[in-house]
Amino acid sequence: MSAVSPTHHRNEAQPPQSAAPEPRRTWRSWLLGRPLLTADAPHQAIGKAVGLAVFASDALSSTAYATQEILIILAAAGAAAFHHAWPISLAIVGLLAIVTISYEQTIHAYPGGGGAYIVARDNLGELPAQIAGAALLTDYILTVAVSVSAGVAQITSAYPFLYDHRVALAVSMVVFIMVVNLRGVKESGAIFAIPTYFFLVMMVLTVGLGLLRHFMGILGSVPDPPPLESGGVAAVGLFLLLHAFSSGTTALTGVEAISNGIQAFKEPRSRNAGITLLWMATILGTLFLGITYLAVHAGAVPSESETVISQLARTALGGRGLVYLAVIAATTLILIMAANTAYADFPRLSALQAADGFLPRQLTYRGSRLVFSRGILVLTVIACLLIAVFGASVTALIPLYAIGVFLSFTLSQAGMARRWWKAGHLPPGVEVQERGSVLRHRKGWILRMLVNGFGSVLTALVMLVFAVTKFQDGAWFVVVLIPVLVALFFAIHRHYLDMSRRLSLEDSGASLRISRHRVILPISGVHRGTVTALRYARSLSDDITAVHVAADPAGAEAIRRKWGLWGSGVRLVILDSPYRMLMEPVLDYIKKIADQRQPNEVITIVVPQFVPRYKWQNLLHSQTAVLLRLALLFRPGIVITNVPYHVSLGTGR
């Protein structure tokens, strides 16, 4: 068989080359861990026990402040109105059951994850999907701000002297959570599992002991409760009760998190995620009811100076001993760890929207530890800004919180109702491949559709109640923000569609040949770097013009003489600059040439650039190539190339 010339197939795609060596260790690998191979992704999946810590910490942590938020609203009618907290809590747990059933169905219908965004996209259309995406992203940002601020409130309850430093404490904690999450899902889950289960043990101990002492008749009331700050100024009416109910529904925040992060679970993903969701809902409902019952019967008072959890713990445990401090520590940790749920879901959701072209594509890139590191950084920056603006106050942040949650609940359940309707009208055995799942006929689809439809109506009503009752307290901001975000998403999407259309090779015809290649070589002097750049320019074209800006005639004459020796016959244009400007004359000259450019003509600006031995020394030299590139970026037909000359090597290579 005759040998094949190595150039015979030079235009064909070449096979993948051998992998690059493992990245060298830097300060990033010390801080975040060694880089992971793409093939390691399946080994980063988590089980149910760790999944509960990663995705349920937000929902479980809400038991630390949901009861307090109900009591804060009821306090407007005085302490006598606190007994309404118990029936309100029962109604909230009933709503929790409906939402849990809906999301359990979503997990099995959409095993690829995505939650409300994917459900709305596949069943309701792009606009509802982007509304759900905006609502969820807003919710995740607020989850970080609210949960960390609530954790700091627990610390200041135990150590009041730290109250004035709560913003700095909160921001430092957010940065710590960011670093842990940049290390990867599996590692962050293992780290955060310990405080999550520590919280569960301490809360079960506190609530269980409190209930036992209550039914034995020895619990008593909260000793030395903080003063009631706003009592007896309002009457108990429907508006007040609805206001308290809407505040208490913050207990449901985070319920959707597991459905968004199914891909993080080990196989079988849907089954493991579904079981984890049921665990979470059961624990959440039980603790929430127990805390509310004890708060009402022990006479806990909502206050910024001491949380309800702190009051219940010292009442049930008999003072501020070691066990009390353990409860406060556990509550603080779970509230801070609740932000981890947002860190698990925000980057995933933003990556999904970016893949669909509604957010910057950079959010789809995974970092060295196989996490969406850019999404993690964006979440950190925005959450820290919110904490700083609102002074790490939970009460100030809560009105912004639940609208996005219940808007996503509503769209998710409406989408599932629509899905069951479509599935019910498919013939048995027929499958339809949708973007996010496979649609097939299901028995009992009418009941499923009615459950999801009822849940959608119910959560929509809760969202409206929350928007109305909390509107003046700050909910108006989210009501305005979500439409603005949706408009931004579609603007990004239109840009990507326009770029795709303009870059498409379809119907582009034969590529045009370059009829003329003109090279312009700006020079500040004649030296080795200039000669190296000239050598490169001559490899491109014979049509070369060197350009020098002269501030005085003597300097211009010196450049002219030296160019005559080293310029290899290339023409030199000297631009007089009586006002001593450097960039402006060059740009004006280039623009005049560009205005005369023919359709198939390309102008290349070759800029000599010498590279000093140390990076910091670049600050001592003008960055002409960078300035030219910024100034001429939007001029068609112009290419800017800088030719480096490495001074330390004494060569232009």
The pLDDT value recorded for residue 362 is 87
Which among 144, 303, 125 has a CA at the least distance from the CA of 230? Answer: 303
| Cα separation, 422 vs 263, whole angstroms | 25
Buried b (16+ CB within 10 A) or exposed e, 266-291: beebbebbbbbbebbbebbbebbbbb
Q: What are phi and psi of 247, to 5 degrees?
A: -65, -40
The 3-state secondary structure of 291-335, one letter per residue: HHHHHHHHCCCCCCCCCHHHHHHHHHCCCCCHHHHHHHHHHHHHH
- Per-residue pLDDT band for 187 (boundaries 50, 70, 90) equals low
| Cα separation, 320 vs 325, whole angstroms | 7
Buried b (16+ CB within 10 A) or exposed e, 500-514: eeeeeeeeeeeeeee
Both structure tokens of 643: 């030719």
Residue 507's identity, in one-letter code, is D
Beta bridge partners of 548: 574
Q: Is the pLDDT of residue 572 over 90?
A: yes
**Look-up of token digits 């069951």:** 420
Per DSSP bridges, beta strands 431-433 and 438-440 are: antiparallel
Residue 69's identity, in one-letter code, is E
Q: Are 313 and 64 in contact (CB under 8 A)?
A: no
Per DSSP bridges, beta strands 543-550 and 601-611 are: unpaired
Domains with residue ranges and CATH for the chain: 41-497 (1.20.1740.10), 516-646 (3.40.50.620)
Whether a cis peptide bond, with omega within 30° of 0, leads into 6 is no
The pLDDT value recorded for residue 639 is 87
Which among 520, 530, 504 has a CA at the least distance from the CA of 609? Answer: 530
243 Cβ contact partners less than 8 Å away, ≥ 6 residues apart: 73, 469, 470
> pLDDT tens-digit profile of 519-536?
999 988 888 888 999 999
Radius of gyration of the chain (CA): 32
Angle of helix 115-123 versus helix 85-109 axis, rounded to 10: 60
Which among 343, 345, 347, 342 has a CA at the least distance from the CA of 360? Answer: 347
**Look-up of token digits 């459900």:** 119
Question: How many helices (H) and strands (E) would you count in the chain?
Answer: 23, 7
3-state secondary structure of 634: coil
CA distances from residue 509 to 499, 504, 506, 597, 599 in whole angstroms, order as listed: 18, 11, 8, 22, 16
Higher pLDDT, 365 or 122: 122
| Cα separation, 492 vs 488, whole angstroms | 6
Query: Could you tell me what percent of the chain has a pLDDT over 70?
Result: 87
Q: Is the pLDDT of residue 489 over 50?
A: yes
Edge to edge, the sheet with strand 543-550 lists 571-576, 543-550, 516-522, 601-611, 638-646
| Cα separation, 1 vs 417, whole angstroms | 66
| Cα separation, 174 vs 169, whole angstroms | 9
Q: Is the pLDDT of residue 555 over 50?
A: yes
Higher pLDDT, 555 or 323: 323
**Look-up of token digits 């942040």:** 397
- Dmax over CA atoms of the chain, in Å, equals 106
Q: What is the mean pLDDT of the chain?
A: 83
| Cα separation, 284 vs 73, whole angstroms | 22
> pLDDT tens-digit profile of 590-638?
888 888 888 788 899 998 887 777 777 777 766 666 777 777 777 777 8
| Cα separation, 305 vs 566, whole angstroms | 79
Both structure tokens of 301: 């008072």
Beta bridge partners of 639: 604
The pLDDT value recorded for residue 1 is 43
pLDDT (mean) for 407-418: 91
Q: Are 132 and 407 in contact (CB under 8 A)?
A: yes
Q: Is the pLDDT of residue 14 over 80?
A: no
The pLDDT value recorded for residue 329 is 87
Residue 468's identity, in one-letter code, is V
371: left (phi over 0), alpha (psi -120 to 50) or beta: beta
Residue 35's identity, in one-letter code, is P
Q: Is the pLDDT of residue 284 over 90?
A: yes
The pLDDT value recorded for residue 201 is 93
Beta bridge partners of 606: 641
Q: What are phi and psi of 478, to 5 degrees?
A: -70, -35
Range with the poorest average pLDDT among 161-175, 253-267, 421-435: 253-267
Q: Which long-range contacts (CB under 8 A, 24 or more apart) does 439-444 make?
A: none
Higher pLDDT, 34 or 266: 266
| Cα separation, 208 vs 201, whole angstroms | 10
Q: What is the number of other CB atoms lying within 10 angstroms of the CB of residue 576?
A: 12
